[in-house]
Amino acid sequence: MRYWVADGNYARIKIFRGLSACERHLVTRLRGDADLRFLALPAAQPRRVGRPRTYDGKVSFDDLSRFECVGALDDQSHVLLYHAVVNSPHFKRDLAVVVLVNERTGGHVVLCSTDVSQPPDEIVSYYRLRFQLEFVIRDAKQHTGLSECQARDEAKLAFHMNLSVAAVGVLRLVSARAGVSLRSLRREAYNAAVVGRTLSQLGLEAEYGVMSAVLRPVVLLGSLRRSRSLTPL
């Protein structure tokens, strides 16, 4: 895995140095008033005696004329992307910076990557994927027991986590097909398990099925399913 994506809380010197030591790159968010400076282009410098300049002024996010406008987001045409390779005095390194400007509100978001050759659209795409990863982890904790494993062995923990995340993917497919939330699916599965256990203890499983019309209201108890027909899990 070459690129690591993290929110602004991880934009710290230790994180930058640690990933660089592992030959990895970080895609993260910077403060809206981040201290950045332009790199001085050798061709634009006048001939003079002495060492050529390394930097060429502080970056002002109120004036992005020196940034390259690379277009707008595919799904939000009012958000424009501005790209430039600049230097961060705080992190002591050059960064590929993408500024997302909302033309409706005038606000902006500053994203960066330690890989100065990374395309700007890829930086934005990777950072936006971070939210989807967080949603998967959230759903796994709430619905598939991601944080409830009591094993200590590394292999068993890895198996549990992989199975939990895979179950979220299956639940999302069933949820999209049935038009019902994950919480409702979990409630229906729990009710079906209780009903099945009860029928088994009473010896009635041959006479009544969990999916039968008679027991359907019981299985749907607490569910927000719009359709009253059950989708087998």
191 and 216 in contact (C-beta within 8 Å)?
no
Residue 40 has a pLDDT of: 84
Residue 227 has a pLDDT of: 47
Distance between CA atoms of residues 154 and 30, nearest Å = 35
Q: Which helix (H) or strand (E) holds 131?
A: helix 120-143
Give the tokens for residue 36.
């950045």
Bridge-partner residues for 84, per DSSP? 97
Torsion of CA 146, 148, 154, 155, to 10 degrees: -70
Residue 206 has a pLDDT of: 57
Residue 43 has a pLDDT of: 61
Residue 42 has a pLDDT of: 66
Q: What is the mean pLDDT of each run of 10 residues along the chain (233 residues)?
A: 86 91 92 91 63 83 92 91 95 94 93 94 91 83 88 91 90 82 80 80 67 71 60 48
Chain-centroid distance of CA 34 in Å reads 23
Report the Cα–Cα distance between both ends of the chain, in Å, rounded.
34
Place of tokens 């994927």: 129
Distance between CA atoms of residues 60 and 48, nearest Å = 27
